[in-house]
Amino acid sequence: MSKVIPHSLFTEFDIGLFKQGKHYRLYEKLGSHAATIDGVMGTYFAVWAPSAKEVYVVGDFNYWSDNEHLLNVRWDESGIWEGFIPNVGKGSLYKYKIHSHNNNIVTEKTDPYARRFEHPPKTASVVWYDSYEWEDTKWMKMRKEKNALDAPFSVYEVHLGSWKKKFNDKNRSLSYVELADELVTYVKKMKFTHVEFMPIMEYPYDPSWGYQITGYFAPTSRYGYPEEFKLLIDKFHQNDIGVILDWVPSHFPEDNHGLGFFDGSHLYEHPDRRKGYHPDWKSLIFNYGRNEVKSFLISNAIFWLDQYHIDGLRVDAVASMIFLDYSRNYGEWEPNMMGGNEYLEAIDFLKELNEEVYGSFPDVQTIAEESTAFPKVSKPTSIGGLGFGKKWMMGWMHDSLQYFGKLPIYRKSHQNDLTFSMTYAFSENFMLPLSHDEVVHGKNSIIGRMPGDEWQKFANLRVLYSYMFTHPGSKLLFMGGEFGQHTEWNFRNSLDWYVLEYDFHKGIQQLIIDLNSLYRKYPALYQKQFESDGFEWIAYDDYENSVISYLRKGQSENDSLMVVCNMTPVPRDIYRIGVPRKGTLVEVLNSDEKKYGGTGNYVNEKVLTDTSEWNGRKYSCEVTLPPLSTTIFTIEN
């Protein structure tokens, strides 16, 4: 005899929205929720399993038996099973044991909407709720009042488990509470505007780095409780730092306890393996054309913005979602109804996702990791775009690392690699990423790709970073890059913090602090970072000297900054350059300064312009270019 009491959080309106794929707050209805019926406290459970003939809640409260707590199926053919179990409360472990109509298959699954899970490798869902009191009112108000597209946006990408470890405590990762102290303090010191976490939703397999998710609505229990993760976000906000989450709607693992073959049918994944299986990652792909699946995914995005005050979502692997032939050979994919390779249902899903996110949270950002030339990724859906706020500029990343990896003697033949990005820089709202993907799998660290002896390696890295921070677009730098870590990133190990005992590494760290400060201080670097009139070449064709120079411009002409990059170890004691107007050049950053690890021997005092025509301009002046350096000037009247 069932001990489940009939109970529902759903109205007919909710069910209608769910069936239409338009219910974007499903986390308020499905999953496990505290409830009191007739004065008795307990938990309401609800799960979507339309192919089930019976769904039992099994847990530590019934000895994991599937003959005691049978949920009730709704009469409305929604496929939702639900009910109230008395005296089951916070901290109780549970799963759903599902007996399917399909060949009497039996599955035992975790709750897709669970707010917490056991610490891996254990897999049970945990009944959880908290009453965390946020203290970030000032931040949330400020977020509403500013436009993220014309403000500094500099992101520090972090893998929480390997940022720093406690060597004196079994080499363990820091907890959410410890990170709320140490990581927040560090990011503030480095003057980044935002931090981005690689996926923190619960995942079973450490080497996946979090990209194979089984618990979409739960922060991983590896580092603490959900309310402690909220504390971490809150502390960032209290220190005026935004938080972005890496979000993975592109695929999910086949683990037995996860979403795959959930109720004995292909419920969340597409039943056609050509659309439902990812050959690269050996994982399943969501069925973007199924309404209830769309509601699940969009509700998940909204959940993190709503319940955790997240400031942005970086959406992983968008290219793999929007192309039917992504990583597939001829015959392994089927064209869409118009004969093309676009996955129309996935494209519609992404548009709907962005419309709902920006409709409900207009002050956040969605950022697409998209590596193709698919048009209008970061343009509004009203003009045919996908609706993202920003897109990673993968071409800039690839071309820049390729260029800087060459010995300076060969760079004059490859200057187009460096300047090509400006031919398409304003086709999207681009973010310049030097992410985790560039420092793993034998690719070497960023500093490890730089040519030359130790001094030249660090000088090259200083030029690369200075070029990155003065190039149009917002910025992203993966942890360790900010101090020139030599070793590739390994999720099992802490960053090599000990290298900060050495001057070159301390110099890189100081340069990043100063570049972030410069980015924040000068409107020319952010007011028009996505607009073509915010950038102007002075000279991109000095191949012989491997020098490029350009202007960054803000709303006011007087805000302009002039940037000159010398890509060789040969100093240019007298280098004439055209300037936009009469005035005095004042050096505001020189990557060759001693505090950065440079020579400190080539400093421009105030430089007066003259009327010699140069670079097609009426005014010019002679400046000194240090070896392997970026020099940034203001022009004062």
Catalytic residues: 316, 369
CA torsion angle 81 115 208 156 (round to 10) = 140
> Does residue 465 contact residue 457 with C-beta atoms inside 8 Å?
no
Around Cβ 486, how many Cβ atoms within 10 Å? 14
CA atoms of 637 and 633, how far apart (whole Å): 13
Residue matched to tokens 């670079």? 615
- Which DSSP letter does residue 161 get? T
Give all strands (DSSP E) within 425-510, no chain letters.
430-434, 474-478
* Contact residues for 196 (Cβ-Cβ < 8 A; gap 6+): 155, 156, 157, 158, 243, 244, 245, 246, 312, 314, 476
Beta strand 547-552 with 535-542: parallel, antiparallel or unpaired? antiparallel
CA atoms of 212 and 220, how far apart (whole Å): 12
**Chain-centre distance of CA 141, in angstroms?**
23
Task: List phi, psi (to 5°) of 443.
Answer: -75, -15
CA atoms of 315 and 367, how far apart (whole Å): 6
Residue 145 class from Cβ within 10 Å (0-12 exposed, 13-18 middle, 19+ buried)?
A: exposed
CA atoms of 524 and 310, how far apart (whole Å): 28
Longest dimension (CA), the chain: 96
- Tokens found for residue 427: 């086709």
Around Cβ 611, how many Cβ atoms within 10 Å? 8
Around Cβ 28, how many Cβ atoms within 10 Å? 15
Instruction: Give the CA angle between residues 21, 23, 27 to the nearest 5°.
Output: 125
User: CA nearest 6: which of 69, 65, 62, 61?
Assistant: 69
381 SS3 class:
helix
> Does residue 601 contact residue 593 with C-beta atoms inside 8 Å?
no
Residue matched to tokens 């343009």? 379
CA atoms of 100 and 82, how far apart (whole Å): 16
CA atoms of 470 and 468, how far apart (whole Å): 6
CA atoms of 107 and 95, how far apart (whole Å): 10
Euclidean distance between the first and final Cα of the chain, in Å? 87
CA atoms of 377 and 392, how far apart (whole Å): 10
Around Cβ 482, how many Cβ atoms within 10 Å? 25
Residue matched to tokens 């981005």? 196
Burial 239-260 (b: 16+ CB within 10 A, else e): eebbbbbbbbbbbbbebebbbb
